[in-house]
Amino acid sequence: MKKLVVLTHPDIESSKVNKRWLQEAQNLTSEFTIHQLHKVYGAGESLDVKLEQEQLLEHQAVILQFPLYWFGTPPLLKKWLDEVLLPGFAYGRKKEDRQLTGKRFGFAISAGIKNEDYRREGRYHYTLEELLLPLAATISYIDAQYVAPFVLYGAEYDPTNPEIDDISQEIDDSANAYVEYLRKI
């Protein structure tokens, strides 16, 4: 059984980090299905909930990949969580209402802000683990297994000034670690 990578990026063509990670995953299509929400659904389009649910059931593990936006998920991923994790499928009283029980959920996240700023004593006072608690609680609510995220911090760069904040080395370094993370889940 393959693993499912659900990638949410509103502009993957201009992306550096998620685009590179996507290329890595695309080399491993025997192991991973890559589902790009923004490629499948146009702006404002309804999700095919049945298809999304079936895909979840057909894969042994799920990796939600996204750039951190306002300390959370991009809106389309939030919509996906809202509309796909329905009662009677993801939660409910009866066992058959909880079809994702035990499924492993990992997270591959790019964050513009540097690691040292995601500390209690850092600039923004909260760790990423704390900021991701709603996702961890969601996974717990549906009786699935939360796998600690894979994160590339400091993924902010200035496309108009490539010499400043050139993070191409960090992205290169993250590529192997990303694949290792996907394989371990």
Ligand X SMILES: Cc1cc2nc3c(=O)[nH]c(=O)nc-3n(C[C@H](O)[C@H](O)[C@H](O)COP(=O)(O)O)c2cc1C
Binding stretches for ligand X (CB under 6 A): 9, 15-18, 67-71, 110-113, 155-156
Report the nearest approach of ligand X to the CB of residue 43 (Å). 16
DSSP 8-state secondary structure symbol assigned to residue 65:
E
Of 27 and 60, the one with the shorter C-beta distance to ligand X is 27
Report the nearest approach of ligand X to the CB of residue 51 (Å). 25
Find the residue with minimal CB distance to ligand X: 112
Of 41 and 69, the one with the shorter C-beta distance to ligand X is 69
Of 47 and 113, the one with the shorter C-beta distance to ligand X is 113
Structural contact between residues 63 and 104, judged by C-beta atoms closer than 8 angstroms: no
Report the nearest approach of ligand X to the CB of residue 86 (Å). 27
For the chain, what is the radius of gyration of the CA atoms? Answer: 17
- Determine the residue type at 115: N
Report the nearest approach of ligand X to the CB of residue 63 (Å). 15
Q: Give kind and range of the element (H or E) at residue 105.
A: strand 104-110
Q: How far apart are CA 64 and CA 6, in angstroms?
A: 5
Structural contact between residues 22 and 12, judged by C-beta atoms closer than 8 angstroms: yes
Of 128 and 142, the one with the shorter C-beta distance to ligand X is 128
